[in-house]
């Protein structure tokens, strides 16, 4: 087999239909677009979710709540994850958490939450700690370092 002998399998590439090429082609004159109206004209297109001029669904539904533009989406890790993954006196930081597959990536920053119990002293380096997480880590002799 050589490069100049390669061919696509039969039916892999389909020719596009060329419309508007005379009445003998069966796709002449109106070229399958019907007689008159918006969609028969060239360049016509309707936006997504267009409902014929009726108020669209996304405008009919009530808007609720408030979304802050300055929202900081922290990546969270709970204490029970740290307990089962790390051994005593380990230094836990963002790189190590990604390396051990506890988090896929750090979005804005890292926050440690206090769900679960911890029995080993760890040095945890993160952007934020919940009060319960900080208390539990320091209770067993660990350290909480804020970046």
Q: Is the pLDDT of residue 107 over 90?
A: no
Beta partners for residue 111, in sequence order? 76, 128
**Cβ(61)–Cβ(97) below 8 Å:** no
Domain of 89, in residue numbers:
75-146
Q: Is residue 107 part of a domain?
A: yes
Instruction: Give the mean pLDDT of 87-94.
Output: 93
Give the distance from CA 88 to its chain's centroid. 35
Residue 123 within any structural domain of the chain: yes
Confidence of residue 1 (pLDDT cuts 50, 70, 90): confident
Question: Has residue 90 been placed in a domain?
Answer: yes
Question: Do the domain assignments include residue 40?
Answer: no
- Is position 99 within any domain? yes
Q: Give the DSSP H or E segment for 75.
A: strand 75-78
Domain count, the chain: 1
Residue 20, Ramachandran bin (φ over 0: left; ψ between -120 and 50: alpha; else beta): left
pLDDT bucket at 94, cuts 50 / 70 / 90:
very high
Q: How confident is residue 21, by pLDDT bands cut at 50, 70 and 90?
A: very high
* Percent over 90 (pLDDT), the chain: 90
Residue 36 resides in a domain: no
What integer is the mean pLDDT of 45-65? 92
pLDDT of residue 112: 96
Give pTM, 2 decimals.
Answer: 0.58
In a domain, 27, yes or no: no
Question: pLDDT, tens digit, for every residue of 111-143?
Answer: 999 999 999 999 999 999 999 999 999 999 999
DSSP 79: H
State how beta strands 128-129 and 110-113 pair. parallel
Q: Round the average pLDDT of the chain to a whole number and report it.
A: 93
């Amino acid at each position: 087999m050589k490069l100049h002998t390669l061919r696509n399998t039969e039916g892999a590439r389909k020719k596009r239909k060329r419309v508007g090429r005379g009445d003998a082609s069966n796709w002449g004159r109106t070229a399958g677009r019907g007689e008159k109206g918006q969609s028969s004209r060239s360049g016509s297109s309707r936006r997504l979710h267009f409902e014929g001029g009726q108020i669209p669904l996304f405008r009919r539904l009530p808007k609720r709540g408030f979304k802050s533009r300055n929202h900081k989406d922290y990546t969270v890790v709970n204490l029970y994850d740290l307990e089962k993954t790390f051994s005593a006196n380990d230094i836990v930081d963002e790189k190590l958490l990604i390396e051990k597959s506890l988090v896929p990536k750090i979005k804005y920053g890292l926050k440690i939450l206090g769900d679960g119990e911890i029995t080993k002293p760890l040095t945890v380096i993160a952007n934020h700690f919940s009060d319960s997480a900080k208390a539990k880590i320091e209770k067993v002799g660990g350290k909480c370092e804020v970046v």
